[in-house]
């Protein structure tokens, strides 16, 4: 569980086995935010504050463009 960075409500989530950031949806405010695994913990970002390297959508775009080369 982690507090939603928008409304503060405790939100449950599951992290993948790798270190890829994931989107989480808050059940109370219905907003989407990002959780990223760190070496010993995790961090949360609002969509507005997340660096591109922590945004799952940006990572997918980068992966697709590198496949085309």
- According to the model, what pLDDT value does residue 39 have? 87
Output the pTM of the full model: 0.81
Q: What's the pLDDT band for 2 if we cut at 50, 70, 90?
A: very high
58 pLDDT tier (thresholds 50, 70, 90): confident
What is the torsional sign of CA 45, 46, 52, 55?
positive
* Rounded CA separation 27/10 (Å): 9
Does residue 53 have a pLDDT over 70?
A: yes
Longest dimension (CA), the chain: 43
Mean pLDDT, rounded, for 43-52: 95
Q: Is the pLDDT of residue 65 over 60?
A: no
């Amino acid at each position: 569980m982690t507090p939603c960075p928008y409304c503060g409500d405790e939100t449950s989530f599951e992290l993948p086995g790798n270190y890829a950031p994931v989107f989480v949806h808050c059940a109370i405010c219905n907003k989407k935010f990002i959780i990223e695994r760190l070496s010993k913990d995790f961090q949360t970002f609002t969509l507005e504050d997340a660096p591109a390297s922590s945004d799952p959508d940006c990572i997918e775009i980068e992966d697709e463009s590198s496949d085309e080369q």
